[in-house]
């Protein structure tokens, strides 16, 4: 009799565990199902959704890559992911270097993120440093690189990146907030200043650039001038 009671108690528990496992699996698979549709659909990011949910301000005007000054994606590539046009969504060499030169278990979560990984994080995951997030981010980046052309990945990145202290998302909102112009009218220095604040647009500003932002912008400006063909994968065919 006791064994029958134990079995009857275990059955509902097992069902709950199975249902939770199925729900988790579906949740993990949703990004892989949705991602191919982003060839033609303009997505929103999880930071945007969070701000909307909490009643915070969100400013974004989606503009295609063709209507953004070419110097901006070029400068962003050189600042954020120099191997963008060659890698497959992740940079194994950069990840290896981070792991080899740091004893911190979370080192991989702080560095070696490609632009494609940042897109995966912005669209499907959460901000902050987490090894769990990084483990989820890497296969997602590989999948995005497989189902989306490089030009589209950059298009999405420039339209979902957070670029201001008060909910400014995307290159158009960034250009208007920082310089009062459209993204299509950005010059090389302005593009370099915007690239300089991408790691932390709350503490760094292109509208009121600090000494650090100006120094980084000068570096990015030189790199863009010296490598005008580094964005070859973005050229319209």
179-205 average pLDDT score: 96
Q: Residue 158: is it exposed, middle or buried by C-beta count within 10 angstroms (0-12/13-18/19+)?
A: buried
pLDDT one-digit tens code per residue, 139-191: 999 999 999 999 999 999 999 999 999 999 999 999 999 999 999 999 999 99
Measured between alpha carbons, how far is 145 from 89 in angstroms, rounded to an integer? 5
pTM of this prediction exceeds 0.85: yes
pLDDT one-digit tens code per residue, 38-83: 999 999 999 999 999 999 999 999 999 999 999 999 999 999 999 9
Name 54's Cβ contacts closer than 8 Å, sequence gap at least 6.
Answer: none
Rounded percentage of the chain residues whose pLDDT exceeds 70? 87
Q: Is the pLDDT of residue 106 over 50?
A: no
* Residue 223 pLDDT: 97
Structure confidence at residue 104 as a pLDDT band (50, 70, 90): very low
Q: Is the pLDDT of residue 198 over 80?
A: yes
* Residue 3 pLDDT: 53
pLDDT one-digit tens code per residue, 84-99: 999 999 988 766 665 5
Name 64's Cβ contacts closer than 8 Å, sequence gap at least 6.
Answer: 155
pLDDT one-digit tens code per residue, 217-237: 999 999 999 999 999 999 865
In angstroms, how far is CA 184 from the centroid of its own chain?
A: 21
* Residue 93 pLDDT: 74
Q: Is the pLDDT of residue 110 over 50?
A: no
From the list 70, 18, 120, 53, the residue with the least C-alpha distance to 235 is 70
- The better pLDDT of the pair 26, 195 is held by 195
């Amino acid at each position: 009799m006791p064994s029958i009671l134990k079995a009857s108690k275990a059955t509902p528990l097992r069902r709950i565990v199975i249902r939770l496992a199925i729900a988790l699996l579906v949740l993990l698979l949703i990004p892989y199902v949705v991602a191919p549709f982003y060839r033609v659909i303009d997505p929103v990011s999880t930071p945007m959704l969070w701000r909307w949910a909490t009643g915070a301000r969100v400013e974004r005007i989606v503009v295609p890559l063709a209507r953004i000054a070419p110097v901006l994606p070029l400068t962003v590539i050189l600042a954020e992911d120099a191997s963008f046009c060659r890698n497959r969504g992740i940079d194994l060499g950069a990840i290896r270097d981070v792991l080899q030169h740091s004893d911190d278990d979370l080192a991989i979560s702080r560095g070696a993120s490609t632009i494609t990984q940042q897109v995966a994080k912005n669209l499907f995951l959460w901000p902050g440093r987490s090894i769990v997030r990084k483990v989820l981010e890497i296969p997602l980046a590989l999948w995005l690189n497989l189902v989306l052309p490089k030009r589209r990945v950059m298009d999405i990145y420039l339209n979902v990146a957070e670029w201001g202290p008060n909910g400014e998302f995307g290159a158009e909102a960034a250009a208007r907030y920082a310089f009062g112009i459209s993204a299509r009218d950005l010059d090389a220095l302005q593009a370099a200043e915007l690239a300089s604040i991408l790691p932390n647009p709350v503490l760094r500003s292109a509208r009121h650039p600090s000494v650090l932002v100006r120094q980084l912008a000068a570096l990015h400006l030189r790199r863009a001038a010296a490598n005008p063909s580094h964005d070859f994968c973005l050229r319209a065919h």
